Structure 1
């Protein structure tokens, strides 16, 4: 059900309270110092304005305010009685005050900037950590481009909004000090000034709601841009083969137009608010001048300082109003980040440390007992009562038609999915905790159907999941995988770039690099999920025979549809309808 206008306002206020509390919690021990610097900067600004009064008294020869008289009397008590002497002392004091204020403002702005950067960086880290800790079943169902948009665009908007919020706090402090000065010098004129604040509030209210709506549309359009860009980059070959580049360009241009339109609307609303406010401020200044001089008979020096304060007050009040709009525009990004983070954290696996003291060597034995699995409570079972035993050093081929649960079974063996019923035993030890499964994953190498390589050097691709590896070990692994020949022919050898997802190589070359990478992990179980299907039959046979010859180091589960390849295994296990049909 869509929210009513009042419901939307309550929702936005709740989101703002959550956002503000989050920033405050994140600031921690930095907050008192930041508040002190903000207050000191505003106070020094006010003192600098008040310091003009004795200057005015010297120039006019008439100390018509108690503040000016007190300062001049104090100087007289120190023996500074000449006009030149007083002017020099006041000038030096004013310059020292400016220098001190500059130092405080520099410290203040640096601290606020540091706090804003830290807040945004910690949000990125929280999201990244939440993705790493979440269950595979949840992460695999997330749209990659939505996550990318959250970590980049939404976080950048959060950065901008947080910066405006922190600077808005400084503007509020400055405005309060300046209002206090007006109350001290000309209390009656304060009523006229407060009318300026009321005008700002009246103008800002509707614009806040509009800014929030535009922020939500900007979030949606931004996600659409990331979605189109992600699809376009990942399907370049398909797009070119079908001459479909223009379809992506049309979708991309449409999304960009939406974003530009929302940004332009937001800019227009801010500009309109600024113009209205400046006009209202001008009216207040003119009215204060006329009323103060002709009606209230305010002393000229007091009136001059009051007008100066009014002129300087316009900036902070306007900044507060624009900060409100910026925060309202940021709130949809914050709520989107909160929702994404909550979804990931709700699916987090218990935090466990990897046991690096357990250095088991040699092939693993594996027993699966009564394994059943379904992707959700409402979906049909993918696996039912699966029993499978793999002896240490055994080579088992797994077959079955597409959709019979082969890859799901492999994911359960690797601990990516957790069985609804049943048990897994490795070397006689039960895998029944996240810690046990994590330690088990460090002892296996899993090569999925789609070989994945990073856009970095072959050396980095080979070693990223292994301990420190010497070049000799790299070339040995490449030789076993049948990849040493083409790697040596590359212009930069091991330092050659693989390209995005390994696009600088053929499918068969990618598969062989991935096999070599798996060997460098020194696994006790090697899982090959159609990991050689891009190779010709003879090359596949040669590589598998070399792997089988290493059965004293690891057991092998091999998924393949090729009869000749299946015959290389010690045993063929067939899955049908989520059950073991034959073995």
Structure 2
């Protein structure tokens, strides 16, 4: 598909999605164009009066105006013609402001729609989309490229406006002096054709601009998220230099792109003036009234900036295409990961969750989960243990529907998980990951994020259940203390307990603890373990654990290796099977002795 066809297709999409805005713009443009044409004509009688106050041989335009003046009883005078001329200019200026407002409204309405649709598509995708896409590319698309698209929407609307204005502007000189106007247009088109060859260069620069921006923003995001390790290794200069190299690459391309866009109208304008002067020189012997020649020249010179801007806008639109193409590619990629939505709304768990012969593999990794079978009864507490990479966390992703099995089935109350509306199930789940993510707001707001309708008593009850009540009360601002970006102002144990309280606040049917104590100190681990033990029987709990001391109260433990269950029983039974995998794990953690 050619670049022109792409632009037309994009414009059609915008037009069909927001027809009312474009219809309003079209009406304003027609009215403004007619007023602009009339404004040009109002200078003719004014010029005739200045050249000959008696108006013995008025031009055609002046004769029409005199007829209007006579009809309304307006006396012929310098002030009458002057106010007539100025009045139309003021009206024309007011309409230009209205058109500018309409264009900006179209731009931001479309931009808001693009943001909304893009985020909806992204968050309708499974976790695999986010885990496989480059986060710098995603950030750049939402933060920078969508801004470029928004600007270009304005350019497209402006170009649409300018084409209509240009047609009306040129109708006046065509009526007053057709030969001069046609000669000028032929020359202008001839001078303008070489500039269209710059479209390919503009597209190439736009592509480079998008790629370098992806890289720069990706590096910036990475070094900000890695600030602790950068400081710890003393690599501040290296991190800064790495980003600045990427930034310089982006800026160099951006400068070339913006210079090209600026240069086009600056070079075209004098060539357009030359075309108008040549046309005037060729037709000057036709003995046209000076006032009409002046009106023709003014119309042509008024049209030149529009033509120059059209060329500039054309360059800008070709420059934006890579941004739009990247947006479409990401949206298509997210669409491939679109979640499978069922029709049934999940109300509450009645029986339990069952894995039946489930297989799953990540791209480039065969056999992540193989023939997995597990049953979690309602109100039960089950634990998944095993070495790193055995597939424990993948099981939690499968339970949440973030990943889908390549074969086999997951059932909730004997109904396939895929048969439920995914969010209706997830809203009944409390999830605490290994890395507790808190938002840069207060503890209260972090808790309410999970359950916005909870009252004060429910907030403190959730904190109490998570063994977080005491430390929260001791904070300077209590529950209204700001936790910092990602909870950086809290210790690891405090973050984890707030995350647990957040999960408990919604009174979930299923609580998933994904290695929630693996990075904690002993005291914090004991507190979290105490919280977990208090929950026994009150809700269904799935624990993914590295530290085996946290699963003593589990009804059943599944020991995983290479994506499969190799042992399954209670803690008490597994801990006495000498030579077993679970037993050896207990030995390594010092929870049993060799004598046992």
Q: TM-score, normalised by structure 2?
A: 0.89
Partner of 1:496: 481
Residue 396 (str. 1) matches residue 382 (str. 2): yes
2:281 corresponds to which of 290, 296, 317: 290
Q: Which moves more between the two structures, 35-44 or 11-20?
A: 11-20
Q: How does 1:502-581 map to 2 (within 5 A)?
A: 502-537=487-522, 539-581=524-566
Distance apart, 1:506 and its partner CA: 1.7
Greater displacement, 306-315 / 452-461:
306-315
Change (3 A) 1:539 1:503: closer
2:356 to 353, 369, 376: 369
- Change in 2 beyond 3 A, CA 1:94/1:110: same
Tell me the distance in 1 between the aligned counterparts of 2:392 and 2:232. Answer: 32
Q: Is 2:343–2:421's contact at 8 Å kept on the other side of the alignment? A: no
Q: Could you tell me which of 316, 322, 328 is aligned with 2:318? A: 328
Residue 418 (structure 1) aligned with residue 404 (structure 2): yes
CA contact (8 A) 1:480 1:543 kept: no
Corresponding residue of 1:187: 178
- Structure 1 residue 199: Cα displacement: 4.1
- 4+ runs of 1 displaced by more than 6 Å? none
Residue 305 of structure 2 corresponds to 315
**Distance change in 2, residues 1:31/1:193 (3 Å):** same
Q: Which residue of 2 aligns with 1:59?
A: 50
Q: Is contact 1:365-1:390 (8 Å) kept?
A: yes
The Cα offsets for residues 203-231 of structure 1, whole Å up to 9 and x where unpaired, read as: 42122222111111110111111111111
Q: How far did residue 200 of structure 1 move?
A: 4.9
Instruction: Determine the C-alpha separation between the residues in 2 that align with 1:299 and 1:29.
Output: 44
**1:368 and 1:524, CA in 2 relative to 1: closer, same or farther beyond 3 A?**
same
Output the CA distance in 2 between the equivalents of 1:262 and 1:538.
Answer: 54
- Which position in structure 1 is the counterpart of 2:110? 119
Residue 94 of structure 1 aligns to a residue in which SS?
helix
Alignment correspondent of 2:395 = 409
Report matched runs for 1:23-422 at 5 Å. 23-61=14-52, 62-76=56-70, 83-84=76-77, 87-293=78-284, 295-350=285-340, 355=345, 358-359=347-348, 365-376=352-363, 379-422=365-408
Q: How much does 1:23 deviate?
A: 1.9
Question: Residues 352 and 527 (structure 1 numbering): CA distance in 2 closer, same or farther, change over 3 Å?
Answer: same
Q: What's the offset of the Cα at 1:374?
A: 1.6
Q: Is the 8 A contact 2:206 2:322 kept in 1?
A: yes
Q: Distance in 2 between matches of 1:18 and 1:77?
A: 50
CA distance in 1, matches of 2:143, 2:357: 44
Taking structure 1 as reference, are residues 132 and 485 closer, same or farther at Cα in structure 2, changes over 3 Å only? same
Whether contact under 8 Å (1:15, 1:335) holds in the other structure is: no
Q: How many angstroms does 1:434 deviate by?
A: 4.8
Report if the CA contact (8 A) 1:199-1:277 is conserved: no
CA-CA distance at 1:309 after TM superposition: 1.6
The residue aligned with 1:7 is none
Q: Structure 1 stretch 216-225 or stretch 196-205: which is displaced more?
A: 196-205
Superposition RMSD in Å: 2.3
Closer, same or farther in 2 for the Cα pair 1:268/1:104, shift >3 Å? closer
Determine whether 1:18 maps to 2:9: yes
Matched residue of 1:514: which SS? Answer: helix
Q: Which of 543, 560, 567 is 1:582 aligned to?
A: 567
Point out where structure 2 has 5 or more consecutive residues left out of the alignment: 569-596
> How much does 1:121 deviate?
0.8
**1:156–1:166 CA distance, 2 compared to 1 (3 A):** same
TM-score by length of 1: 0.91
- Per-residue deviation, 1:459: 0.9
Q: Secondary structure at the match of 2:535?
A: coil
Cα deviation code 1:125-160 (max 9, x no counterpart): 111111111122223322222111111101110111
Task: Evaluate the alpha carbon distance shift between residue 328 and residue 98 of structure 1 in structure 2; reply closer, same or farther with a 3 A threshold.
Answer: same
Per-residue CA deviation, residues 437-475 of structure 1 (Å, 9 max, x unaligned), is: 443322221212211111111111112011422222222
Q: Tell me, which stretches of 5 or more residues in structure 1 are unaligned?
A: 1-9
- Once residues 21 and 164 of structure 1 are traced to their aligned partners in structure 2, the CA distance between those partners, rounded to angstroms, is 15
Aligned residue for 2:574? none
- For 1:526, what is the secondary structure of its paired residue? strand
Deviations 1:10-64 (A, max 9, x none): 5423321222222212221222221111121111111111122222232333535
Task: Give, in angstroms, the shift of residue 485 of structure 1.
Answer: 2.4
Tell me the secondary structure at the aligned position of residue 478 of structure 1: helix
Q: Is the 8 A contact 2:273 2:304 kept in 1?
A: no
Q: CA deviation at 1:124?
A: 0.5
Deviation of the 1:496 alpha carbon: 1.3
Aligned length: 565
- Once the two structures are TM-superposed, the CA of residue 96 in structure 1 deviates from its matched residue by 4.0
Instruction: Provide the secondary structure at the position in 2 that maps to 1:371.
Output: strand
> SS of 1:380's equivalent?
strand
Aligned counterpart, 1:461: 446
